[in-house]
Structure 1
């Protein structure tokens, strides 16, 4: 799964309220210490397609969270993920939906972020894994068998197709610059796998849910797409390595938010799909299975990879 990230928006057609009316319809909850300190919750929103469109599409989530928390909620646009990371690291926003790699990148900068929840896919999977695959016709069964072999990674910015495998190899004391007889990058995991199948390389790095039917290429990932396209027979490959699980994109807050507020946000997220599907789609357009709990430790494999950058 490449580092490219999904915008914080729903998949079109939402009947949105006017954005920016943060004070409308607020009840007056009893004042507590944290409410006297936190006057509003600022949510960062990716806006690569233009602020007005993205803010409108995020509005159902803003409105629901404002009503649920009893606190003014404001949307703050960010032109790209780099700008969003900068905003939450430097305290210009309090909350954001981030890619898993963006969270790890932000954590490496400030140690000030906390993931509260992450989505499940429609099939119930909560994570994916970086994998290495080789042809069954060659005697390669584990990472150690790749010494002196030809390998192909995904793009240098790919979390599962490059960054995590490289971090694991280096963690084993392997000098990746000299360990292989040849190494290259492909434009995506399917291209890498196809090059391996042709015999151009001995192993390819990609990702998979590793859940579901193996013969179908599992439930999610490039193996499944290639099987469906008739480009891959799973009997022709073996998985020689898999990483620890990498959860889906987290809902992230600054760690210094009051604990009571973080608890309210968690509860709202866990109930969101059932309570307000339109608001759920507005904050999580990619994975439709509802939110589950995560912690910083859930992303250890990525935190380690980014610590080596």
Structure 2
């Protein structure tokens, strides 16, 4: 698949540049053993979970402010507009702590193993979610198999995947097509790179026939009235995927890391309701091993080496 090879080259190139920069910075300002380090402030980051940066900030800033207060440090929050940007900011040391997508974490950790996942968020009390492919409710197919057959027999259906840094919107659907020995660029009128909100709107308005998304985003779009539940249908759903991790940069002070993890896993239902976006109900501890299925998908697509 040409696009997969293209993105692999882009990711490798970006990683190479950042690693050189980070190595120089670390050599110039090595603060010594992480157990003895202290922080004057803390920088948090989050990716594009909601349709606009302003919405993202409104949804996540109270949570990060509470974490900064727990550590008795001044904090700031960076909101990025793409999934790759947030993971690269963490790897470069621009951020101390980030709420990453699973694929963003795997990409970043693969190239910088010093990054550590310390917790996985729970959604409706579960630490997992699902990648989905959606279509309009009145589409003349109900399953991915039927959509593939229809697209191969006549005019190609329009398939849109999300940006390359998205777990549910790009990686997992691509891995599913790989499992089926199908090239989506050959079978469909293919495009990629849209936000998850744009994916759903594109299907509901008939601009595209099939789009990738994830169950959590569908819940938000329906709850906010952006679409009606009966406008779309799910034609394919993945196996359970680990929810988003909270990740700390390399050489993050051990004492702060333990304090953060303890606060996350001990978040009460009342605190979760007050600080987190709707339906996010807390965290479970993680050491990163629960993201192995995401890494396996990246290896299968040869995006990771």
Normalising to structure 2: TM-score of the pair?
0.59
Query: What number of residue pairs does the alignment pair up?
Result: 248
- Residue 165 of structure 1 aligns to a residue whose secondary structure is helix
Residues 154 and 162 of structure 1 are in contact (CA less than 8 Å); yes or no, is this contact kept in structure 2? yes
Alignment partner of 1:265 is 2:260 = yes
Q: 1:191 aligns with which of 194, 201, 209?
A: 201
Per-residue displacement from partner, 1:115-156 (whole Å, max 9, x unpaired)? 1113323x3343321112456874653448615152422443
Aligned residue in 2 for 1:232: 230
* Counterpart residue number, 1:62: 68
Separation in structure 2 between the aligned mates of residue 221 and residue 285 of structure 1, nearest angstrom: 10
**Larger radius of gyration between Structure 1 and Structure 2:** 1
* Per-residue CA distance 1:183-218 (angstroms, 9 max, x = gap): 34577232343256x9x73x44332159xxxxxx8x
Deviations 1:43-93 (A, max 9, x none): 3224977xxx99998444212124xxxxxx564665747665344314455
Structure 2 counterparts to residues 123-134 of structure 1, below 5 A: 123-133=124-134
Q: Secondary structure at the match of 2:201?
A: helix
CA distance in 2, matches of 1:60, 1:131: 33
2:252 is the alignment partner of 1:242: no
Q: Is the 8 A contact 1:107 1:303 kept in 2?
A: no
3-state SS of the aligned residue for 1:244? coil
Unaligned stretches of 5+ residues in structure 2? 1-32, 47-52
Q: Distance in 1 between matches of 2:145 and 2:157?
A: 12
Whether 1:88 aligns to 2:94 is no
Change (3 A) 1:153 1:249: same
Take 1:108 and 1:142, find their aligned partners in 2: how far apart are those partners? 31
Question: Taking structure 1 as the reference length, what is the TM-score of the superposition?
Answer: 0.58
Residue 113 (str. 1) matches residue 115 (str. 2)? yes
1:45 matches 2:54? no
Instruction: Give the direction of change, closer, same or farther, for the CA distance of 1:178–1:252 in structure 2 (3 Å limit).
Output: same
The equivalent of 1:277 in structure 2 is 271
Check the 8 A contact 1:192/1:205 in 2, yes or no.
Answer: no
Q: 2:169 aligns with which of 154, 161, 173?
A: 161
Tell me, in whole angstroms, the C-alpha distance in 2 between the residues paired with 1:137 and 1:94. 45
Once structures 1 and 2 are overlaid, which stretch shifts more, 36-45 or 53-62? Answer: 53-62
Residue range with higher mean Cα deviation, 183-192 or 53-62: 53-62
Structure 1 or 2: more helix by fraction: 2
Unmatched tracts of structure 1, length 5 or more: 1-33, 67-72, 211-216
Residues in 1 aligned to 2:228 and 2:133: alpha-carbon distance in whole angstroms: 20
SS at structure 1 position matched to 2:105: helix
Query: How far apart are 1:42 and its partner, in Å?
Result: 6.0
Aligned to 1:98: 100
The CA RMSD measured in Å over matched residues stands at 4.6
Q: Distance in 2 between matches of 1:65 and 1:292?
A: 19
Contact 1:152 1:184 in 2 (8 A): yes
